Amino acid sequence: MTITPDAVRVFAPAKINLFLHVGDKRADGFHALQSLVVFAGAGDELTFELADGISLVLEGLFAGVLSADTDNLVLKAARALASRSACEQGARITLTKNLPVASGIGGGSADAAASLRGLARLWDLDVSQDLLHEIGAILGSDIPVCIASVPAWMEGRGETVTAVNVPGAAMVLVNPGVAVPTGKVFAALKERRGVGMPLPPIMKSVPELIAYLKTTTNDLEAPAREIAPVIGEVLDTLATQQGVMLARMSGSGATCFSLFESDAAANNAAAKISKQNPGWWVAATAA
């Protein structure tokens, strides 16, 4: 978070599900989940300035596919925070949308969480992380884990979050430009690993992390590939890059990630994939 005399600027990093297991549907209609989540160096940016009323301006590569209407999660988060804190101040929010939309990396959820953090600072509110977490859980399943944006073990429908230590790793993110609606992916889900895994062990190295992740899966990958077969092409492309250690889909797709043995290997792979697939969004980053 960057604070100037005139504005507050907040980074909203991409949320990466290193694995995602799906359990039975709960009484509230949501499936029980378990996931190990990390946050990437790639993300959106939000700027908050005091103003009359609450408004949203959209900028950036993927701004054109969003709408700044009342259903936008950033505005919903802003109004919810103002209501819960009895704050009568306003804000002009500028969202620079660098992440693809409906892509399985929690862009909208990360933006909503950043809205809560940024406005709490702009409005100088005495609010706890627990309250921000509570507001986020009402607005969306992925928002609570994005409040702190640190590696976490996520359970329930996403609202139960436990911070964990995960070794940092070089990463490449690839999205083929296909939006995959989460509801359709869950509707197409046939087989699932289920929940019940214990908290992950302490892992001090990337090889230990890779060994652990190979005992897990993303239950949503199969149905997502049925809906968008290009996901399979992305995963095959990532899996054949030099220095790759693991390739997997994040969330409900279509963004996929790969972990690499070095930053150089990740950068080289990203450059190669971008050149061969100019229509794909590709980012070399770290988690």
Q: Which residues are catalytic?
A: 15, 142
Count of CB atoms within 10 A of residue 72's CB? 20
Alpha-carbon distance of 108 to 103, in angstroms, equals 10
DSSP state of 27: T
Tally of CA atoms within 13 A in the half-sphere of 244 that contains its CB? 19
Give the DSSP per-residue string, 198-266: PPPPP--SHHHHHHHHTT--BTTHHHHHHH-THHHHHHHHHHTSTTEEEEEE-TTSS-EEEEESSHHHH
Phi, psi of 188 (to 5 degrees): -90, 0
Sign of the C-alpha dihedral, residues 243, 287, 13, 8?
Answer: negative
Alpha-carbon distance of 185 to 189, in angstroms, equals 6
The tokens for 46 are: 């939000």
Tokens 């070095």 appear where?
A: 262
Alpha-carbon distance of 170 to 129, in angstroms, equals 29
The tokens for 218 are: 């993303």
Tally of CA atoms within 13 A in the half-sphere of 212 that contains its CB? 19
Cβ atoms of residues 73 and 139 within 8 Å: yes
In the beta sheet, which residues pair with residue 257?
173, 248
